[in-house]
Amino acid sequence: AQSVTQLGSHVSVSEGALVLLRCNYSSSVPPYLFWYVQYPNQGLQLLLKYTTGATLVKGINGFEAEFKKSETSFHLTKPSAHMSDAAEYFCAVSDAAAGTALIFGKGTTLSVSS
Amino acid sequence: EAEVAQSPRYKITEKSQAVAFWCDPISGHATLYWYRQILGQGPELLVQFQDESVVDDSQLPKDRFSAERLKGVDSTLKIQPAELGDSAMYLCASSRNRDGYTFGSGTRLTVV
């Protein structure tokens, strides 16, 4: 069975500071990994995804994530936080071969202060 | 850009009443998913369709929840009777292949 653990339910940074949101996964098969962002009372917007190939993945709004198989991690980073980055972030995993549904972590709330 | 349409956006219903949500996936997307997201938590899969067939409904509370996708296009999720604990965001998503999932804006259900 697959699972996702997001370390830290709440992360606070200052505007301009580095953003680091942690995600570890468990999967017995090669995973596809995703990061989504959610604003209040909205659906989920895809930030980036890893399927195969290059392990450093760049997404929208300046975010990127690195797939580290040895550490079973897929942490999300952004060099400089902006006030508009304040939102809920979800890491998700799916079984690449079986085409299963996404399994989500519990989410991390990012707060950005000026 | 193509979107997944959901309606209504917000729904308030009294407990023991019936409620239904509708989802229209992106054209050509064979796979459709319904998720429930309780406030402060991540989305949890309720049911997955491949065309008109149910692929996974292991987490669907079948005593009160039902889902259908009769023609393999749009889908309806129903709750009867609604309970206070059903208050949540109900998200629909669709995909054409295994690495692309698009979510709708969701239906926020409040049961009073």
- For A7-49, write each residue's pLDDT tens digit: 999 999 999 999 999 999 998 888 999 999 999 888 899 999 9
Q: Is the pLDDT of residue A95 over 90?
A: no
Among A7, A49, A102, A108, the strongest candidate for a mutation testing the B interface, having the largest count of B CBs within 10 A, is: A102
Provide the pLDDT for residue B99.
72
Measure the CA–CA gap between B56 and A40, rounded to whole angstroms: 28
| Closest residue, chain B, to A38 (C-alpha) | B105
Q: Are A108 and A89 in contact (CB under 8 A)?
A: yes
Q: Is B105 on the interface with A (CB under 8 A)?
A: yes
| Percent of chain B scoring above 90 in pLDDT | 88
- Burial (Cβ within 10 Å: 0-12, 13-18, ≥19) of residue B84: exposed
User: CB–CB of B103 and A43 under 8 A?
Assistant: yes
User: CB–CB of A101 and B99 under 8 A?
Assistant: no
Q: Are B98 and A96 in contact (CB under 8 A)?
A: yes
Average pLDDT, chain B: 94
Q: Which residues of B touch A46 (CB under 8 A)?
A: 101-102
Average pLDDT, chain A: 94
Provide the pLDDT for residue A67.
96
User: CB–CB of B45 and A94 under 8 A?
Assistant: no
Among B36, B57, B103, B105, the strongest candidate for a mutation testing the A interface, having the largest count of A CBs within 10 A, is: B103
Q: Are A26 and A3 in contact (CB under 8 A)?
A: yes
Q: Which tens digit of pLDDT belongs to each residue from B50-87?
A: 999 999 999 999 999 999 998 889 999 999 999 999 99
Measure the CA–CA gap between B53 and B61, rounded to whole angstroms: 18
